[in-house]
Structures are given as structure tokens and as C-alpha cells.
Amino acid sequence: MKNMPDLDKIVSLAKRRGFIFPSFEIYGGSAGFFDYGPHGLTLKNNVKQIWWKQFVSGREDVYGIDSVIVTKKEVFEASGHARGFADMLTECEKCQRRFRVDHLADTKKCPECGGKLGEARQFYMMLETHIGAAEDEASLAYLRPETAQGIFTNFKNIVDSFHPSLPFGIAQIGKAFRNEIAPRDFLFRLREIEQMEVEYFIKPGDWKESFEMWRKEMQKFIASLGIDTNKIFELEIEEADRAHYSKRTIDFEFDFPFGKKELYGLAYRTDYDLSAHEKASGADLRYTDPESGDKFIPHVIEPSLGIDRTILAILCSAYVEDELGKEKRVFLKLKPQIAPVKVAVFPLVSNKENIVSKARELYKNLKEKISGVAWDDNGNIGKRYRRQDEIGTPWCVTIDYQTLEDKTVTVRDRDTGEQIRKKEKELEKYFSDKLS
């Protein structure tokens, strides 16, 4: 087993097995954009469901919303993004390649061709659009660079509709867009991302307790996905490096094949956002304490998690090269709960109608009762095992001649390659117990 997989191998497997495809590939692709194939979409949805259950539906103090992507410019003017969401950019005078200044070891020499780098300048990362027919300053809008502001602008609606007591949270899963200067490293730095975020509203004096609570929740979530916790590091962000709204930030870093980089963030945003939106909009965004009657702007703890980086960390953690039966193989050691295919059903041979018919019957019965059951009759049995190993399928069920005689099947374990015989009628409980 290799300690750190090669990123190119992960990219190749992700495309070969229908997890991740380069966007617009038939037109040459476009940096920073990737599409999720059938297995990638299922994996992503499984991750989102686990997050939603832990962070939202499994709690009594968090409300879910789904806010719009196209956002009025006034929102980001108030939040500070319109003037501050930028990176320093430099361009090579020789090859015209552009680079983020903070990613360069030498700010005078091009890392690609050795040419001279030009003077650094600000590059605004928000993607602009217009609302309505006219394309003028009044119609200017942005594709949101984060999901948080849609939560803050709905704070009053949640308070007025549900009358929650502090502390309480508002959560959403959604797309965000960043016009990255140099997207790179597969799913790590993209121009279109998906985020899972909670804004947790608290009394100002309670922030340390809530911060620690969400820190533990994030640690629990990481472990639940099978992400290698030995490759997770918590980094306290110094004041000079924190976002303009943050009084404390911890980055959860992951040791990717290209280095130790940010996976998630946990921030204490104080009352910055609600105060800014109250001032800009004129709306009263104060919270009224039901016991004392005091009115104040709540403070906020924000656990922010990117789905795409989560998927990349999962693939990096699950990718394994080993030997099985004296043959080299590659497999994804995915936790069964998140694997896109939980059980693959095979007929031993595809040219015997009685075996195929029996396998189809078993496949349909399992599929009705267990989520993530797939059919595979392409190629010989060895090729099917290797294909399902690369998909990360924990168990393969083979219907053979013996099945027709005694109604038992072969169940093969992905990690060990071991095979056991199980009765047909026991399969549903067998797999359900393992997935619980």
C-alpha cells in the first residue's frame, strides 16, 4: 500500500470509473470546471446526506434553507466582498501566463518559462452578471462567491417565521463561484464549487463554547466519511491572515498529494455580517431576548465545508494499491455508507438463461430494499471484480450453478477478496446490518 497516492492516478481512475469528468471535454475543456459522473454524483449525494443529517435534520436548533445564486450587488457591497474579494495577480511578460502572487516562491521570475513577471495588481474574483435587459450599473449582480450571505439576508425571515431561541443555526448546501486566477490540482481549486455551511447565531458571550462544539462536530464528520484522520491538521489562523469578518479561524488542513492544504474552515464571524446588512438595508436585524426583552445583534460561528474538496480528500484516503491473488490491483476503500455502489450482483456466466434470470430476480429484490445495488454482467468474473474494486463496491454477489440447487450465493468482500456462501433469504439482513 502506498502512503500517498499519485494525483494523476486518482484523476485517471475518477474519469475511467465515472466519478469525475472534465467539463466541456469535447471542446477542449476549461480550467477549474469538472462534471460529476454517475458514481461521482452518488458519492457526492451520500456525503451531503450525511452532512445534512448531522448538521441539520439530526439537530433541533438548525434550520435549512436554499437561497438564490444570483445576488444583488448591494448584498456584497455591504458584506465587503465587492471591494475585498480579490487576490494579487502578476503576469509573465514573456509567456503571458498569470499567477497569484501568494503562490510564487520568486515574485520576479516566471515559474513556467523563466521570464520577467510584471507588477502585481488586484484581481477581483467575483463573477459578474446583470439582472434584466439593461446592462448598466443599476442592473449589476454577482454569482455568489459563498453561500453565507444568503443565510444572513434570510436571518429576519427565519426569526419572524419560526421564533427560534438562541443559539440557533441556519444552514444550506449550494453552489458558489470564484473566478480563480490559476485553478489547479483537480477538485481542489475550482471556479464553480459547492459548499455546506452553517451560520450559528449566539449570544456574544457564548462564542467560545459554541466554537468548540462545532469544532468537535467537524471532527466527527471527517471521521464518519472515512477521511484519513492521520492526514488532518488543525491550523490556528493568525490575525493578519484571517478574513476581514473573523475574530478567530481554524483551518482543517488535509495532506493532499500536492501538499498540506485547507479542507474546511471554522470561523467566529462576530456580529460583522448582520450589523453590516442592518446598516446597508435599514432593516432591523436585532434579536429580542424572550426573557429579558433586550435587543442585540447576535454573533456567529461558521463551520464551512466544501463538497468538492471533501470528495478529493475521500478519494485520496480511499485509494489503495495492493496485491490480491498474486496480481496487482487498485481499489477504493470507501466506507460502505458513502460508496456509490454498495452491492454488485453478477451472473457467473452471461450466456446461461437460467442463471441470468435468477441473478436478475435477486438483483431486483435487493434493489427494492437496499440503496446502491448495481447489476454487472460485462466481461468475465475477474474483470467484474476489478471494475467494482475501482468503483469502491464493498460486496459483490455472484449467482452460479450451485445457486440453482441450494439457493445460496457467493458474497465477495472488496478489502480482503474473501468469499463466503450465503442463503438468498439472508442477504437483505446481512447487508443492512453492515450498512447500519
What is the per-residue pLDDT for 1?
41
340-360: pLDDT as tens digits: 999 999 999 999 999 999 999
Top pLDDT among 49 and 2 is at 49
Same domain, 368 and 289: no
What is the per-residue pLDDT for 86?
61
310/210 Cα distance (integer angstroms)? 23
85/181 Cα distance (integer angstroms)? 13
- The residue among 337, 434, 430, 415 whose CA lies nearest residue 1 is 415
Q: For the chain, what is the largest distance between any 2 Cα atoms, rounded to a whole number of angstroms?
A: 78
Which CATH number covers residue 135?
A: 3.30.930.10
Which CATH number covers residue 425?
A: 3.40.50.800
Domain boundary among 281, 316, 351: 316
64-93: pLDDT as tens digits: 999 999 999 999 999 988 776 667 888 898
Same domain, 41 and 183: yes
Query: Quick check: 48 pLDDT over 90?
Result: yes
Count the helices and strands in the chain (H runs, E runs).
13, 24
218-229: pLDDT as tens digits: 999 999 999 999
88-126: pLDDT as tens digits: 888 898 898 888 888 788 989 999 899 999 988 877 788
Same domain, 254 and 357: no
**Is 333 a member of any domain?**
no
Same domain, 288 and 352: no
Same domain, 199 and 282: yes
What mean pLDDT is predicted for residues 401-421? 97
Lowest mean pLDDT, pick from 135-139, 152-156, 262-266? 135-139
Structural domain count of the chain: 2
Determine contact, residues 110/117, Cβ cutoff 8 Å: yes
Query: Quick check: 2 pLDDT over 50?
Result: no
**Is 54 a member of any domain?**
yes
Same domain, 217 and 302: yes
Same domain, 294 and 358: no
Query: Quick check: 254 pLDDT over 50?
Result: yes
Same domain, 248 and 300: yes
What is the per-residue pLDDT for 84?
62
Structural domain including 418 reads: 341-435
Same domain, 369 and 420: yes
CA 383, distance to chain mean position in Å, is 30
All 3 cell numbers of residue 214? 462545532
Task: Report the predicted TM-score, pTM, of the whole model to 2 decimal places.
Answer: 0.92
**Is 330 a member of any domain?**
no
Same domain, 149 and 239: yes
Which percentage of the chain shows pLDDT scores above 70?
Answer: 98
Which percentage of the chain shows pLDDT scores above 90?
Answer: 86
Same domain, 19 and 57: yes
What mean pLDDT is predicted for residues 33-46? 98
Q: To the nearest whole number, what is the mean pLDDT of the chain?
A: 94
Domain boundary among 316, 331, 363: 316
Query: Quick check: 3 pLDDT over 90?
Result: no
Same domain, 354 and 402: yes
**Is 80 a member of any domain?**
no
